[in-house]
C-alpha cells in the first residue's frame, strides 16, 4: 500500500487528480470506478479543469459508481446519480450511456443488484476511487460486511446516517435507511485502487487501515489484500498513523 500524505485538501485533490489524469491520457478508453461523498469533490474539480484545458477527454471513458441510496428517486438532489451529474458528469464529455450507477428504482431491488453485479463482472475497472467513512466503511459496506459480498442492499448504520445528515438539512430522518452498494469483492476486482481521505474525523479509520490488520470490523482493511492500492490523506487524516 502506497501512502501519500499531503499538507491539505487542495494538495490531496491535485495529487489524486494527477493519477486519474495520467491514466486517462495513457488509456483514453479506460474504465473508472467512481465514488461520492465530499472527499472526491476537489479531485473532480481538477478533472473538470483538465478537461476544460484540453489535457484529457472522457469521450471514451466508462464509469461505474460504488453505490446509491434507496428510498430516493433518481432525480432527488441527494441521490448519487444527481451528485455525479452535478459534480462531474455535467461538466465533462463523458457519454451518459457510458456512466453506470446502481439503480434503487422499481420494486425489485434484488434484481437491480443482480443486474449491476453482472455488468461489473463483465468489465475490468482500471482504477477504483474510494472515500472512507469515519467507521471505516467503503462504498456503503458497513462494519461486519463479509468481504466476499458482491453488490447488495445494505442497512446503513446510525453512525453513517448521522455523518451524512449534513447533506439532508441536518435532519437524520431524511437520510435513507438503506442503500445499494458494490461489495468488497467487486471493489477488490479493480486493477488499482485510489483512496482519498481528509480531516480529523477520518484519522482513526486511516490509522487502523494502514496498521495492516485485516478485519471485517473495518471494511477498508480489505484493501490490505490488494497489491495496487494508493491512499492519499491530508495531515489531519494522517495524524494518528503510528510512526
In this chain, which of 35, 154, 193, 206 binds ligand GLP, going by CB under 6 A? 35
In this chain, which of 33, 42, 102, 133 binds ligand GLP, going by CB under 6 A? 133
202: which residues sit within 8 A by CB, 6+ positions away? 132, 134, 233, 236, 237
Instruction: Tell me the angle at which helices 9-26 and 41-52 cross, rounded to the nearest 10 degrees.
Output: 50
The residue (of 56 and 132) whose beta carbon lies closer to ligand GLP is 132
The residue (of 88 and 132) whose beta carbon lies closer to ligand GLP is 132
Q: Tell me, yes or no, if 18 is annotated catalytic.
A: no
Cβ at position 87, least distance to ligand GLP in Å: 12
In this chain, which of 140, 180, 220, 237 binds ligand GLP, going by CB under 6 A? 140
The reply on whether position 221 binds ligand GLP by CB under 6 A is no
The reply on whether position 131 binds ligand GLP by CB under 6 A is yes
Q: Tell me, yes or no, if 76 is annotated catalytic.
A: no
Q: Tell me, yes or no, if 85 is annotated catalytic.
A: no
SS3 of 15-31: the string is: HHHHHHHHHHHHCCCCE
Q: Which of 112, 117, 126, 137 is catalytic?
A: 137
Q: 110 by DSSP, 3-state: which? A: helix
Q: Mark residues 53-92: x for contact with ligand GLP by CB under 6 A, - for none.
A: -------------xx-------------------------
Cβ at position 42, least distance to ligand GLP in Å: 11
In this chain, which of 6, 36, 99, 189 binds ligand GLP, going by CB under 6 A? 36
Q: Tell me, yes or no, if 67 is annotated catalytic.
A: yes
In this chain, which of 39, 65, 99, 151 binds ligand GLP, going by CB under 6 A? 39
CB 224 within 8 A of CB 212: yes
User: Which string of b and e fits 116-129 if b means at least 16 CB within 10 Å?
Assistant: bbeebeeeebbbbb
Closest CA to 186 of 216, 153, 147: 147
Alpha-carbon span 179 to 51, nearest angstrom? 31
Quickly count: other Cβ atoms within 10 Å of residue 140's Cβ: 28
Cβ at position 25, least distance to ligand GLP in Å: 26
62: which residues sit within 8 A by CB, 6+ positions away? 29, 30, 31, 32, 98, 99, 100, 123
151-210 residues in contact with ligand GLP (CB under 6 A) are: 160, 164
Q: Which residues bind ligand GLP (CB under 6 A)?
A: 35-39, 66-67, 131-133, 139-140, 160, 164
Amino acid at each position: 500500500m502506497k501512502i501519500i500524505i499531503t499538507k491539505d485538501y487542495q494538495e490531496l485533490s491535485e495529487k489524486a487528480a494527477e493519477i486519474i489524469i495520467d491514466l486517462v491520457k495513457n488509456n483514453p478508453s479506460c474504465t473508472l470506478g467512481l465514488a461520492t461523498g465530499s472527499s472526491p469533490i476537489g479531485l473532480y474539480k481538477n478533472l473538470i479543469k483538465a478537461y476544460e484545458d484540453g489535457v484529457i477527454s472522457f469521450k471514451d471513458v466508462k464509469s461505474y459508481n460504488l453505490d446509491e441510496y434507496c428510498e430516493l428517486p433518481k432525480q432527488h438532489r441527494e441521490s448519487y446519480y444527481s451528485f455525479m451529474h452535478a459534480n462531474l458528469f455535467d461538466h465533462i464529455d463523458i457519454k451518459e450511456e457510458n456512466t453506470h450507477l446502481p439503480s434503487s428504482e422499481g420494486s425489485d431491488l434484488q434484481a437491480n443488484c443482480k443486474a449491476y453485479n453482472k455488468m461489473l463482472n463483465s468489465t475490468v475497472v482500471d482504477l477504483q476511487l474510494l472515500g472512507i467513512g469515519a467507521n471505516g466503511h467503503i462504498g456503503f459496506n458497513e462494519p461486519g460486511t463479509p468481504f466476499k459480498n458482491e453488490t447488495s442492499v445494505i442497512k446503513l448504520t446510525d453512525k453513517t446516517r448521522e455523518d451524512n445528515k449534513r447533506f439532508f438539512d441536518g435532519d437524520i430522518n431524511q437520510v435513507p435507511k438503506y442503500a445499494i452498494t458494490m461489495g468488497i469483492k467487486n471493489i477488490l476486482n479493480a486493477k488499482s485502487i485510489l483512496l482519498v481521505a481528509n480531516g480529523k474525523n477520518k484519522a482513526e479509520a486511516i490509522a487502523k487501515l494502514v496498521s495492516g490488520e485485516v478485519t471485517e470490523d473495518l471494511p477498508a482493511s480489505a484493501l490490505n489484500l490488494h497489491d495496487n492500492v494508493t491512499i492519499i490523506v491530508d495531515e489531519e487524516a494522517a495524524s494518528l498513523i503510528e510512526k
